[in-house]
Structure 1
């Protein structure tokens, strides 16, 4: 069996309704950069900020993301600054910034397709 050193990194893949709208949301509102696109017409793209990459693909079904489970948890260094910047960009914050009993200070946003993304920092 391969050792854990064989693992390099991972990527979350979000199936989205409108790829252009999702790219605009992640780049303009959340500060990500589009680093890759594929297909003619484009049906796959990657947005990245720091060490976090999110892969976006054109959804082929009518699937709806869960409103009860987080799709992604992103650990950040300046949680208050990120929260303030997202509020200024009118990002939909579904659970406000607060200290949690699991030793994290975090908040949740919702992207245009309904994916819940949590941003947090250890306390």
Structure 2
């Protein structure tokens, strides 16, 4: 029955969010229509959607998304090579639940955690 999931995260500024995901994380914009206050990005087989929430206080934003990958070491190194800010408590590590993961924050403090089963 279920076939996919596309998380929807808040964004304060569509231009800043678009720039971060397209130019820093190498996503592409999904679709050919520019919707006011809404953004869809994709990379490989995942999509993340964003809705405009100009009033959100990033310090009070607890939105999170977990992205599974099949090459966590390469992804982590690419992010370091591109000088992307890894979350201070989210450097690459093996977790007790059998995942190797790391985390980062986007411009609106949405927590992105990347993980691979070990």
Structure 2 length as normaliser, TM-score? 0.87
1:96 maps onto 2:77 in alignment: no
In the TM superposition, what are the counterparts of 1:74-85 in structure 2 within 5 Å? 74-85=67-78
Q: Which has the higher contact order (CA 8 A, sep 6+)?
A: 2
Distance 1:51 1:72 in 2: 15
Q: Give the match's secondary structure for 1:120.
A: strand
Structure 1 gaps of 5+ residues are: none
Aligned Cα RMSD in Å? 1.5
In the TM superposition, what are the counterparts of 1:26-45 in structure 2 within 5 Å? 26-36=21-31, 37-39=33-35, 42-45=36-39
Number of residues of Structure 1 aligned to a counterpart in Structure 2: 113
Distance 1:89 1:57 in 2: 26
Q: Deviations over 1:56-107 (max 9, x none)?
A: 12115335312xxx61110001101100111122222011001111100000
1:9 maps onto 2:17 in alignment: no
Identify the residue that residue 71 of structure 1 maps to in structure 2: 64
Is the 2:68–2:115 contact (alpha carbons within 8 Å) kept by the matching residues of 1?
A: yes
Distance 1:45 1:100 in 2: 32
Where has structure 1 moved over 4 Å in runs of 4 or more? none
Structure 2 gaps of 5+ residues are: none
Structure 1 length as normaliser, TM-score? 0.84
